[in-house]
Structure 1
Amino acid sequence: MPPITTPQKHRKPNHSGDLLRSPANVQEDGVQFIPVARTPGLPAPEQLHHPRFPRQTPAKKADRKRPLILCCAALCFVFAVVLIVVGVVTLVVFLVIKPRNPGSTLPSFLNGDLTFLANFSNPNGKIDVQFEFVGVELYFRNTLIAAQALQPFAQRRGEVRLQSVHMISSEVFLSPERERELQDQVNGNRVVYTIKGTFKVRTSLGLIHITYWLYGLCTVELSRPRAEFLWPKLVEPSGD
């Protein structure tokens, strides 16, 4: 009796290459193969996670981010260049100009403002006087610090006249010794000034006219501005 043979199934070859069998559904016998669609140009399903075929990312996202990255890089470059230029300019200016810290000193010059009333009187009962020249000088320790000339005026017999005298000292140089004395007197709340007056007087008695010079000397002591006390001393007139 001849041996019994099992007929083998013949598989129809896939000539088009568009259908593949999935490895998970492959069996040797008695199993129907499930066709899987394959797109031309793409790897097979079993090759999607293969090391030789990495996942592909869309190129459009990279193309969109590239201009933004280039813009940020350009801004950073420009900012760095500006910082470098500013630093170099600052260094050059500092080396050329060589700035120094400002300082303050007390100069040996006096600026002052003194106003007082001068009393001019004519005690003669029968003689009129004419002040043709009136000059007033202000001294501190024999140092002239201000001078003022007054307008000529006349006084009748027995007349009394009050004249305002405004003395201004502008950048008067004081020696170191005089400067120390003035500072000590200011700290002691009593500053001593000397006022000298020079007067050219003309008297008239009828047809007789006499002209002569008078000199006055007065010492004045001043306290602080909050009190503003004047301590006048005796005026010592002298004449030629």
Structure 2
Amino acid sequence: MVIVAGLAILIIYLVFRPRNPKFDITSATLNAAYLDMGYLLNADITILANFTNPNKKGRVDFHYAILDLYHGGHLLASSYMDPFSTMSHESRFQDVHLVSSQVRLSLEQSQQLKKEVDNGRVKFEVKGLFRARSNLGSFLQYSYWLYAQCTIVVTSPPTGVLIGRKCTTKR
């Protein structure tokens, strides 16, 4: 019985060759970033997220998707995305608007952010948590968590555009 189950899993794997979806940031715009009273951050950033299903067969459903914006390891903003699906070999773009209001930063973090804005290269981390379900035909479905981490560098606001990015997606 165990041998038959193992053979069935091997055959399914060889037929479908499932691969993990990929997350990437296509563009980002830093619309605003300023400090009230020297330590309360107000920021507005828009991200165009790209979800790619690299599988030749089957679709991927994202039931839970949340993006968090960090600067220097400090959480600035979070955004939930509505559920969506990607068909085989499809990329889906999602516009994500992240706004932080009166987020308290330490003196060290405030000085670092001010220095980055003055230099024209502001570095943020974007972390994503996604609950995905792969549908390999009508008979085989399995769910799993995906973890995305991106480091992005944008120019200074109000026209801050993406000048660098590095993203990884892990299961």
> Where on the TM-score scale, by shorter chain, does this alignment land: which range?
0.7 to 0.9
The worse-fitting range, judged by mean Cα deviation, of 225-234 and 153-162 is: 225-234
C-alpha separation between the residues in 1 aligned to 2:45 and 2:60? 28
Deviation of 1:124 (Å): 0.5
Check the 8 A contact 2:152/2:166 in 1, yes or no.
Answer: no
Larger radius of gyration: 1
1:237 counterpart SS class: strand
CA contact (8 A) 2:116 2:122 kept: yes
Matched, 1:152 2:83: yes
Alignment check: 8 A CA contact 2:38 2:110 kept = no
- Alignment: residue pair count: 135
Matched residue, 1:209 = 141
Residue type at the aligned position of 1:224: S
**Taking structure 1 as reference, are residues 151 and 108 closer, same or farther at Cα in structure 2, changes over 3 Å only?**
same
Q: Secondary structure at the match of 2:108?
A: helix
Matched with 2:123 is 192
Distance 1:222 1:196, change over 3 A: same
Q: 1:170 to 1:225 in 2, by over 3 A?
A: closer
Alpha-carbon shift at residue 225 of structure 1 (Å): 3.6
| CA distance in 1 between partners of 2:82 and 2:159 (Å) | 31
Q: In the alignment, which of 65, 68, 83 is matched to residue 137 of structure 1?
A: 68
Aligned-residue RMSD, C-alpha: 1.4
Q: Secondary structure at the match of 2:125?
A: strand
The residue identity in structure 2 corresponding to 1:204 is N
| TM-superposed deviation, 1:107 | 4.2
Q: What residue ranges of structure 1 are gaps of 5+ in the alignment?
A: 1-104
Greater per-residue helix proportion: 1
Question: Is the counterpart of residue 172 in structure 1 residue 103 in structure 2?
Answer: yes
CA–CA distance in structure 2, aligned partners of residues 225 and 111 of structure 1: 12
* Aligned residue number for residue 53 of structure 2: 122
* TM-score, length of structure 2 as denominator length: 0.75
SS in 1 for 2:110: helix
Matching residue's letter, 1:133? Y
Pick 1 or 2: higher relative contact order, CA cutoff 8 A, min separation 6: 2
Equivalent position amino acid for 1:168 in 2:
V
Structure number with the higher strand fraction is 2
Counterparts of residues 18-97 of structure 1 (less than 5 Å): none
Q: Is the aligned partner of 1:233 residue 2:161?
A: no
Instruction: Tell me which amino acid in the other structure corresponds to 2:148.
Output: G
CA contact (8 A) 1:218 1:232 kept: no
Q: TM-score, normalised by structure 1?
A: 0.54
Q: For structure 2, list consecutive stretches of 5 or more residues without a partner in the other structure.
A: 1-35
Match of 2:5? none
For 1:238, the aligned partner's letter is: K
Q: Residue 227 of structure 1: CA displacement?
A: 5.6
| 8 Å Cα contact 1:111-1:172 kept in structure 2 | yes
